[in-house]
Structure 1
Amino acid sequence: MQTYLAILLLAPFIAAIGIFYVSRYVLFLVFSLSVLLVGSSVFAYISFESAFILSIPALNPFVVAADAVLLLYFASVGWKNRHKPILALSIVQIVLLGLLESFDAPQGFDILVDRLSVFMFLLINIVGSLILLYTLRYIRDETDDPLRQRLFLSLLSAFLGIMNLLVSTDNLQWLFLFFELTTLASFWLIGFRRNEESLDNARTALWMNQIGGVALLGAALVAKVLMGSIYLSEIVSEGGGYVMLFAAFFSLSALIKGAQIPFSGWLLGAMVAPAPVSAILHSSTMVKIAPYFLLKISPLLALTMLGWIIALIGAVSFLVSAALALREDNFKKILAYSTISLLGLMVLTAALATPLSVLACLLLIVFHGISKALLFMCAGIAEKRYRIKSIESVQGLFQRAPLLSLLVVLGFVSIALPPFGVFFAKWLVYEGGNGAGGVTTVILLLFIAVGSVALTLLYFKTIGRFLTDGAAQREKEDYRYLIPPAILGVLLLVFALFISVAMGGFFRETAADIVLNPVPVWGDKGGIILPFGQIKLWHILAAFFLLGIAPLLAAIFRFKGVDRVMPYTCGERIETDAYSFYFDPAGKIESFANLLSLVLFLLVILAGAFNL
């Protein structure tokens, strides 16, 4: 384990330096790093027997110094750009960091790699490595400057290392450093194009995530000053009179990093960045900090008012973001809203903290990470190769680029239909909720049901656009672009085909380790058994058959013998209706949802303060 961990924590930074300074070996370094990260994460999972712990007190002064330098840099950004929120939040963080350092706490284990850490290693490094390989081709279409090409690859490589460190640490002061380093990386990557729009959105991402940093420092202060510990595992296992206040601040940092309403603006603005940034930040790595944080403290949230409030915040984001996505036409914006929506579902399932809901959260983390990375890659190909940003412009793309179009369809299907993991995650929540009962549970299930309908409408609206006919000839597709998303597509199909084995083994073991209780899910002869129901192997195989036969039938019988023309409107505006699946609820519900979520955020603090 030690060797694999050393590779995962150090190799990305060594490779980042090499990529930036040694231009002749960029291709070799990226491929070598990808192989090392994938291999080490897989073998770390295979060889995992018990948690790996390590204390490195000698590094604490360097961590504090790095924290201070980072916050001073944020302050300089605020000062230079005359951006008052960034400057003010930087000052608040510096004061809180100084206050935190004025108190002492007993030394514990700075590094703690448990089964959840190993689980996250697999997602971060397998998906992240494929995004790095994809970027080798993408960046050549993004910029002609070799230095900026290497800078971009170096930042992505280092970001994977930061994420590996974040999921490996137990020390809250170390965790704050890695948390804010992800904020720094997102600030640089979102602003990579250096136009005014990119820089504005990068600054928005910076100040919103700084609020999350303030919340995390608040959690660290509560832990160190009031509870006498700075180590997450000790706080969760030992509890204490202030543990719910700690959990409240810690949860707020997760919710903000996870772009939950009303802090979703930073993720929506991040869509102006190059496609690999969207893929690596908003599918497999940075936004997954939210469910990861909540899963780490899930024993504290179970059956508490605080847990229910956090779950309701996730439910609101899930439903409202799904509805708002229906008004969008921009491909990446659609992906952004659906990402916020599914992150809301992850927050909901993690906060409920039951064995079945935690298992559902793990399914969502993996399948969403793979599917959204695939879709953002495809969005980048559509933009760079075919100059398509809007789904209204994709007519005929199926004829021009059938492989790309099929990958897009697979990506959307995998987060909407059986036999893929997102569908089973919702099924687990429904089954668990039906068994739990209660008014709050009914409300949450209602949010999930309506939000799921909105997302399904969204996905099929988008799929329909990609499969429309057009007067276009097939073009040669660039397979260097397509290989990484195609590998992700194969992973989705393999996971779906062997979902029984995965849920009964890989996911179930991780969930049981998190909740410290058995998880009542079993794989049986290719099927899945729950206390409340069962899916047999033939159900899964039938779903695969329908997924294959439905597009074929549509291609054969679609509008056969029908002469179709676009209506001539003499310049008149055509109002949207239910048939077109475009809804614009912004004026009616968006402002209300922001206000409601803000109130719920305040209730999180109150629930923590009153130990509810």
Structure 2
Amino acid sequence: MLWNIKMNLSSLVFLLFISIVSMVSSLKMLSGGGSYYIEWEIMTLNSCSLEMTLILDWMSMMFLSFVTFISSMVLYYSGGYMSGDKNMNRFMYLVLGFVASMGFLIISPNIVSILLGWDGLGLVSYVLVIYYQNEKSANAGMLTALSNRVGDVAILLSIALMFQLGGFSFLFYVDSSTIGGISGLAAFVILAGMTKSAQIPFSAWLPAAMAAPTPVSALVHSSTLVTAGVYLLIRFSPMLEGTFEQTSLLLLASLTMFMAGLGANFETDLKKIIALSTLSQLGVMMSVLALGFPGLAFFHLLAHALFKALLFMCAGSIIHSVGDYQDIRVMGSLVKFMPLSVASINLANLALCGTPFLAGFYSKDLILEVAFSGGLNEVCFWLLVVATGLTVCYSFRLVYFTLSGDYNLGGASVVSDDESIMTLPMIWLGLGAIFGGAGLSWLIFPAPYMICLSFEFKILALVVSGIGGLVGYLLNMLTVNYMLTSLNNYFIVIFAGSMWFMPFLSTRGVSNLFLERGSLYHQVGDSGWSEFYGGQGAYSLFISGFSYLQVAQDNSVKVCMVVFVVWLVVLSMIVV
């Protein structure tokens, strides 16, 4: 136990040190300009060099600072949440490996070295999802791994396409016209980003990954795994401008945002509700990125990381206290027993909804106004507006079922905020959720500019948020009527609450489409006709031929005479 504490504290101090150094370096680069590009040449093949490169600019340093700060809070939080676990050392090493993979991906401008961090994230995420060794975790881990393999293949194909440029460091090419001549590169990069950030049709793995321990969820959904795709597309954003793939990304991101917000309003698992909110916010980042504003996407990425990590930590504290229940229907009135956790989760929810002057407001309001004033088509406009209302709706539904409402836990639960190891990181992240948005807006956008919109568009976000909050709270107070309405419209509720059947299509659908047909092709083809006319047929033909040759080589006079006569007959027929 002493070794666990030492390793936990040393890792915590190391990550905090990296966070402070990275933030100071980022601020220096922001104020003075410039960046550092470090390169080691490993080998040269056919005039194409393979180098190990690192890029240290304000964006990578700031993102690395946020990742290490949140990771240090998660490690401290894990000391309380995972205290009863027998494999604490293994858990800590896995989390540190996860952070190292993400850090390597952030500071790599080389598509080959990006693949190392990218695959490292996929491998460690699989191991963490199956950490609780049961059938549900195994299925969720397999879905996560196989979904992300699609993105890994897209990165490999991107490497193959970039080979003809004479180098793999994309920073030298994304602003030039040469990369536009490579057909399919933008599509492969967008495909890789969509799989990692769980956009439609790869959304099923993200709620399934909730099988991992809650501290891992706080790390994954705030600043690491799911944000890797967004970060990759931010780096490649100059290459995507004006392409057909960018328009497709806008539509798919808007649909993802709407689908996740709708599904969260029918979900009853506390962690999956927060996971679907992450999916919705990833849709926001991808949509504003597709509109051509990578700086705004990066701003929302950092602001979202602060309050989403806080949201998961509060959820973990609640789940830990109520006897490991995750169903929000068996909670209620937690404000009387867990005031600090309830205040923190309310703060994170309000920041998520874009409440004025909290972290989410500065990024979300700016994104909505830029989208309204830009070239947004009508379908994506309404999806964006309705998804904004749905975000507030499921947040207030969560508040009603867990924090207020009726007490449903029973007398066996000991609910309290007594564990300081779990509550201290919440305080630090709560400060980030309050002041982080304003601070980041001053740093990233130091020069103010005004977006001119009509009065209706200016207040549209607040009006839609207010309507969503009222619907989310009042509708769920009428629980009986709500349940009866759900039963009367069973198919609609099942369709909306199951992410449009995407988990089924991603598992059973793929199994029916490929695996069962593959088994049929194997039986009829590989083990059937191709075997009859292929390997086994050729084997039988050669064996029978060799037997005739063996008889001919036995020096039998009769056989030789017969062969000679047959040869003469054939020769005479040919001559005639």
Q: TM-score range by the shorter chain?
A: 0.7 to 0.9
> For 1:333-387, what per-residue CA distance to the aligned partner results, in whole angstroms no more than 9, with x for missing partners?
101111111111111111222xxx3343123212221111111111211122222
Q: Aligned partner of 2:395: which letter? A: Y
* AA aligned opposite 1:262: P
Q: Kindly provide the CA deviation profile for residues 478-509 of structure 1, in whole angstroms up to 9, marking residues without a partner as x.
A: 1221111221011111235xx2x532x32226
Distance 1:193 1:217 in 2: 31
Q: Return the offset for 1:46.
A: 2.8
Deviation string 1:149-185 (CA, Å, 9 cap, x unpaired) is: 0110111112212111111111211111110000011
- Residue 67 of structure 2 is matched in structure 1 by 124
Change (3 A) 1:41 1:302: same
- Which one of the candidate residues 516, 531, 540 is aligned to 2:451? 531
Q: Is the 8 A contact 1:371 1:411 kept in 2?
A: yes
The residue that corresponds to 1:450 in the other structure is 386
C-alpha change, 1:337 and 1:216, in structure 2 (3 Å) is same
Q: Determine the structure 1 residue equivalent to 2:37.
A: 53
Distance 1:577 1:400 in 2: 34
1:483 corresponds in structure 2 to 424
| Residues 231-253 of structure 1: per-residue CA shift (max 9 Å, x gap) | 11022133314346212211111
TM-score by length of 1: 0.71
The residue number in structure 2 matching 1:136 is 79
Structure-2 change in CA distance of 1:280 and 1:587 (3 Å): closer
* Residue deviations 1:293-334 (CA, integer Å, cap 9, x gap): 111111122233221111111111001111111110000010
CA displacement 1:56-99 (0-9 Å, x = unmatched): 123x6xxxxxxxxxxxxxxxxxxxxxxxxxxxxxxxxxxxxxxx
Q: Which residue of 2 aligns with 1:586?
A: 496
1:232 matched residue in structure 2: 170
Once the two structures are superposed, residues 413-460 of structure 1 have per-residue CA deviations (whole angstroms, 9 ceiling, x without a partner) of: 1110222343343433333234334xx533322211011111111111
Take 1:296 and 1:265, find their aligned partners in 2: how far apart are those partners? 26
CA gap 1:32/1:290 in 2 versus in 1, 3 angstroms? same
- The one-letter code sitting in structure 1 at the alignment partner of 2:237 is S
- Determine the C-alpha separation between the residues in 1 that align with 2:367 and 2:174: 24
SS of the residue aligned with 1:57? strand
Aligned equivalent of 1:363: 299
Whether the aligned pair in 2 keeps the contact of 1:394 and 1:465 (CA below 8 Å) is: yes
Native 8 Å contact 1:229 1:235 kept in 2:
no
Partner of 2:344: 407
Following the alignment from structure 2 to structure 1, what is the Cα–Cα distance between the partners of residues 479 and 386? 33
Query: Structure 1 34/173 Cα, relative in aligned 2: closer, same or farther at 3 Å?
Result: closer
Q: Which has the larger radius of gyration?
A: 2
What displacement does 1:107 show? 5.5
After TM superposition, the structure 1 = structure 2 runs for residues 291-440 of structure 1, keeping only pairs within 5 Å, are 291-353=230-292, 357-387=293-323, 388-416=325-353, 417-437=355-375, 440=376
Return the alpha-carbon distance in structure 1 between the equivalents of residues 384 and 417 of structure 2: 42
SS in 2 for 1:284: coil
Q: Partners of 1:191 and 1:276 in 2: how far apart? A: 14
d(CA) in 2 for partners of 1:198 and 1:255?
A: 23
Counterpart amino acid of residue 435 in structure 2? V
Alignment of 1:104-115 (within 5 A): 105-106=48-49, 110-115=53-58
**CA contact under 8 A between 2:70 and 2:309: conserved in structure 1?**
yes
Classify 1:566/1:321 alpha carbon distance in 2 versus 1 (closer, same or farther; 3 Å): closer
Q: Tell me, in whole angstroms, the C-alpha distance in 1 between the residues paired with 2:497 and 2:401.
A: 26
Is residue 51–residue 112 contact of structure 1 (8 Å, CA) maintained in 2? Answer: yes
Amino acid at match of 1:409: N
After superposition, the C-alpha distances for 1:108-143 in whole angstroms (9 at most, x for unaligned) are 6711122221121122111111111111111114x1
Cα distance between partner residues in 1 of 2:46 and 2:328: 55
- Asked if the contact 1:318/1:345 (under 8 Å) is kept, the reply is yes
Aligned to 2:434: 493
Whether the 8 Å CA contact 2:41–2:49 is kept in 1: the answer is no
Following the alignment from structure 1 to structure 2, what is the Cα–Cα distance between the partners of residues 322 and 190?
A: 24
Tell me which amino acid in the other structure corresponds to 1:57: E
- The amino acid that maps onto 1:200 is N
* Pair 1:494–1:586, CA change in 2 (3 A): closer
In structure 1, C-alpha distance between the alignment counterparts of 2:125 and 2:273, rounded to whole Å: 20
Q: Check the 8 A contact 2:37/2:53 in 1, yes or no.
A: yes
TM superposition score normalised by structure 2: 0.76
Is the contact made by 2:26 and 2:59 (CA closer than 8 Å) also made in structure 1?
no
Letter in 2 for 1:460: F
Please name the residue that 2:539 is paired with: none
Q: Map residues 184-263 of structure 1 onto 2, 5 A cutoff.
A: 184-224=123-163, 226-240=164-178, 241-243=180-182, 245-263=184-202
Give the Cα separation in 2 of the matches to 1:250 and 1:409: 37
Secondary structure of the 1:427 match is helix
Specify which of 422, 438, 443 is matched with residue 506 of structure 1.
443
Cα 1:287–1:110, aligned 2, differ >3 Å: closer, same or farther? same
Pairwise CA distance, 1:477 = 2.4
Shift of the alpha carbon at 1:44?
A: 2.1
Give per-residue Cα distances to partners, 1:561-582, cap 9 Å, x unaligned: xxx9998x9xx9744389xxx9
User: Which one-letter code corresponds to 1:502 in the other structure?
Assistant: L
Write the deviation string for residues 4-38 of structure 1: whole angstroms up to 9, x where unpaired. xxxxxxxxxxxxxxx9x955722431332233222
Paired residues of 1:326 and 1:583 also in contact (CA < 8 A): no
State how far apart, in whole Å, the 1-side matches of 2:373 and 2:102 are.
36
**446 and 470 in structure 1: CA distance in 2 versus 1, 3 angstrom threshold:** closer
User: In the TM superposition, what is the alpha-carbon distance from 1:469 to its structure 2 partner?
Assistant: 4.9
Coordinate RMSD, CA, aligned: 3.5
Residue 105 of structure 2 is aligned to residue 166 of structure 1: yes
What is the aligned-residue identity percentage?
22
Q: Which secondary structure does the structure 2 equivalent of 1:237 belong to?
A: coil
Tell me how far apart the structure 1 counterparts of residues 424 and 301 of structure 2 sit (CA, whole Å): 23
CA displacement, residues 175-232 of structure 1 (integer Å, 9 cap, x when unaligned): 11110000011011111111121122112111111111000011111111x3322111
Consecutive aligned runs of 4 or more in structure 1 exceeding 6 Å deviation: 564-567, 592-595
Q: Assess, with a 3 A threshold, how the Cα gap between structure 1 residues 587 and 257 changes in structure 2: closer, same or farther.
A: closer
* Inter-partner Cα distance in structure 2 for 1:587 and 1:290: 25
CA distance in 1, matches of 2:334, 2:69: 29
The change in CA–CA distance for 1:574 and 1:407 in structure 2 (over 3 A counts) is same
CA distance in 2, matches of 1:404, 1:574: 33
Q: Distance in 2 between matches of 1:566 and 1:429?
A: 35
Partner of 1:441: 377
In the TM superposition, residue 591 of structure 1 has moved relative to its aligned partner by 4.7
Alpha-carbon separation, structure 1, partners of 2:237 and 2:398? 35
Provide the rounded CA distance (Å) in 2 between the counterparts of 1:296 and 1:321. 26
Match of residue 25 from structure 1: 6
